[in-house]
Structure formats: structure tokens, C-alpha cells
Amino acid sequence: MKTFKYTLSLFLLMMACLAFAQIPSAETGTFALTNAKIETVTNGTIENGTLVIADGMITDIGTSVSIPQGAKTIDCTGMTIYPGMIDGGTQIGLIEVSSDPRTRDNNEIGDVIPHIQALTAVNPSSVIHPVTRVNGVTTALTMPSGGLFPGTAALINLHGYTPDQMYAGFKGVVLNFPATGRRGRWDRRSDEDIKKAADKALEKLNEVWDKALQYHKIDSASGGKDQPYYPEMEALLPVVRGEMKLLINVNSSKDIKSALEWIDEKGADAILCGVAEGWRVAEEIAEAGVPVITGPVLSNPTRSYDRYDRPYANAGAMQKAGVKVAIRTNEVENVRNLPYHAGFAATYGMGKEEALKAITIVPAEIFGVSDKYGSLEKGKVANLFVATGDPFETKTQIKYVFIDGWNIPMISRHTQLYEEYLNRAPGVEK
């Protein structure tokens, strides 16, 4: 029996190795993408241009480019090169199967746990990463959820064997700002109970912030020595010092106003996330000068009497009011749909050019990584994709994707299933 089990295990291992052997690995080296239309985002459009990639970077770009000796040339005639898209808010890598708690690392126990690092929990082998990146999304902010301070979010590139390899240079502590509204149709609390809960949450928020300020004073006075182990305060230390961004999830117009007042009072370096009713208070947000990552765009109105297209027009309304706006999906499995969220925003007031910026250079600027990502420029990281047309249109095909200069195989769970059922053997007949 033991021999049988050993033989079976060995057989299954060999079959698994054969299956993996059939999937090509990403390819590195020097590449020249020629004869392409190049949407740089920051420096206009280059017609019939060439882009050179070497050592993971864009080493040259333009119409008069010398192709390095030994470079692999990819003819992009009739195609367009775009910067890799950046999703400003997801839970990708933290959840694999939403219905299975064993695969969920987005919501840990505790109400104030800013020291919980999303990057540590990211699963580099998630099957969702290939599904997402083959649609041109190369980078995403992955955020913990639940509680007042649920943890620290991290910006990741969707390629790598370890979380550290995927890290794209930005972290921010997440704050779920106390909400004064109902949690949903199922919320049967009275108005009085809702107000009490919101007041209590705000009181706790201020208590935590004041404690972090006291910790900062003690830490500064002692030079960081002989401090008791207090991981929560240690994580909030760079936030109260203005060295790290605070990502504030807030949606209703009333709560957005309260959040803006709180930010001003505390002097926090903050980013507003979600902001579903930002269009109602767009002028106030613009005046405060706080950047916004809004979404999902493909959503329902927050109030039953609002127009159906309010979520679609929200990003554009804020952008026109002078708010710096990036777009997020707030998704796990469907982060790949980021270009379609941006497409709806473009159609409903934002315009195509600004919508493209909202998923490329604007989030890169908000996260402080625009020197590396968000546009096609010499000296930037080679995160880009080559498409047959407008990425906001579902008929467009993505032909090539590069992340950190790696030529990513255009294979995912979806393409594998497509091939499997396209070439059924022995077929569907008995």
C-alpha cells in the first residue's frame, strides 16, 4: 500500500511538473518595440516610433532611435504602446477565493492594527495576477479592510516570485473613516443608534491619533531608544510625522466633509479613497487640496433618487472642479476591468485623455512613484503594454505586456480554459 501511495504521489508530481513546463516563463533581455504609435501620457503621442527596453528600464524612445545590437525586435505596426495601468485600490493578492476564509488575508482580527502589512500577505502565485496583467494592468495598490485602522496598504507590480520582488515603492496606512450613514439596506439600526456608533468611532479615532502623537513626542525625546514594544503606535509614527500617507476610505458627502475637517485639524498627509459622493462636495475637496482615488466607477448610485449615471460621472465632476483624481476598481477578481471603469469615466465627463492619466500618471504622482511609473519616458521602469487599439474598448486585444522589463507570457487561467474547451477531446458527444 505504501509503495502504491509513493508511486501515485510521484506520478502526480511528474504530471504537475509537465503542466508547469508547458507554461513559458517571462523573458528578460533587451527589446526594441518598433513601428508603433506610442502614447507617452506626459509628452504627447509619437507616431511610428521605437521604444527600447534594457535592464528593466526604458533606455530610449522616439522616432530616431538606434536599436542596440542583439536586441530582440518586436514589430508593432498598427499597434499602440501604452504605460502599464495602475489600479489605485484593490485587494488583489490578499484574497484568492472570496467564499473560502482560508484564502482571505485582507481582514485580520482587531480594530486598530496599522502594523499589519498587506505586502507580507500578498500571494505572488495568485492565479488572479496573470488574469489581470494580460489586460494591461501592471500595478495595483492592495489594501487591507475591516476595522478602524485595518493595516498598511502596498503598491505592487503583478509579477514576481516573492512579495518583495513585487513591491513598487509605496505604502500607506489605511483608515476607515467613521460613517454616519447606514451600512446597507439590511442595516435596521435607528438613526439614534447610528449616530451613537459614529460618535463613538470618531472618539476612538481621535483617541488613537492623540496616543500616536504622544508616542511621537516620547520617541523624539528619547531618540528612539528604550521605547516599550508598541507595534500599533510604531506603525502610526511615520503617519503623524507626515512621512507616510494616510489612505482614508470615505464615501458619503457628509462624511467626506467631516474627513476634510479632521485632516485639516490633525495636519495629516492624506488621500481620500472611494469618495462615491465626491461630486456633491467637489469644490470643498478641491479647496482642501486633498487627492482622491475614486471608484468603483461601474457601480450603482448611493441614493435611490440619484441619476443612474452618477457613479460614472463622479470622477469627471471632481476632476473638473480641480481635484487630482485617480481611479480604482476596489476589486479582487476583476481588477482586469480597470480600463473599462476608466472608459465609463471618460464617456461621462472626464474625457479620454484625463481618464487615461487617472489610471497611469496620476496614481503614480499620488503615490510618489511618478519618477518610475505612469508614463513612457527614458529612464523609467519598463511597465507597459502593446494593444491593437483603444484599451478602453473591450474589442481591443493586448498583444504584449512588460513588467519591470520582463516580457510577460500572455497566458492566464482564462486563456487556458479557452484553449481547453476550444479543442475539446474527446469532445462533447458520447
Beta-carbon count within 10 A of 19 CB: 10
Could you give the angle at the alpha carbon of 62 between the alpha carbons of 380 and 350, nearest 5°? 70
SS3 167: strand
Helix axis angle for 338-345 and 310-320, nearest 10°, is 70
Residue 67 one-letter amino acid:
I
Between CA 37 and CA 204 the distance in angstroms is: 53
> What is residue 430's predicted lDDT score, i.e. its pLDDT?
65
> What is residue 184's predicted lDDT score, i.e. its pLDDT?
67
> What is residue 190's predicted lDDT score, i.e. its pLDDT?
77
Write the pLDDT tens digit of every residue in 4-60. 444 444 444 444 443 443 457 899 999 999 999 999 999 999 999 999 999 999 999
Between CA 301 and CA 184 the distance in angstroms is: 13
The conformational region for residue 163 under phi > 0 = left, psi -120 to 50 = alpha, else beta, is alpha
> What is residue 221's predicted lDDT score, i.e. its pLDDT?
87
Helix axis angle for 253-266 and 191-222, nearest 10°, is 20
Omega of the bond prior to 150 within 30 degrees of 0, cis? no
Phi, psi of 386 (to 5 degrees): -115, 125
Omega of the bond prior to 130 within 30 degrees of 0, cis? no
Spans of the chain, pLDDT less than 50: 1-22
> What is residue 126's predicted lDDT score, i.e. its pLDDT?
94
Residue 40 burial by Cβ neighbours in a 10 Å radius (0-12, 13-18, 19+) = buried
> Is the whole model's pTM more than 0.85, yes or no?
yes
DSSP 37-93: EEE-SSS-EEEEEEEEEETTEEEEEESS-PPPTTPEEEE-TT-EEEEPEEEEEE-BT
The residues with which 293 forms a beta bridge, in sequence order, are 273, 326
**The C-alpha cell of 178 is what?**
467613521
